[in-house]
Amino acid sequence: MCNEFGYRALQKRKAQTNVYAEAAVFIAAVVVGAIVLGMVGEAINVFWDVLGMHGIAWF
């Protein structure tokens, strides 16, 4: 991951890329990540509910 970002930084120095496009991609990745985390949290919630342990559901 670090190498990938380093490579991107080098590419930016060679030629200025569209900052807004990269920002949009980054924001989209963050939003998708948040949705996935929410889905995982919900799945854990359902899992604990099925076991009948409501007190352990932190999500």
Query: Higher model confidence: residue 27 or residue 19?
Result: 27
More confident residue, 14 or 34: 34
Residue 59 and residue 42 in contact, taking contact as beta carbons nearer than 8 Å: yes
Q: Any idea what the Cα angle at residue 32 is, between residues 12 and 22, rounded to 5°?
A: 15
Question: Does pLDDT of 31 surpass 90?
Answer: yes
Q: How many domains does the chain have?
A: 1
Model confidence, pTM: 0.45
C-alpha to C-alpha distances, 1 to 4, 5, 15, 59, nearest whole angstrom: 5, 6, 21, 28
**For range 11-32, the mean pLDDT:** 79
Residue span of the structural domain in which 41 resides = 2-56
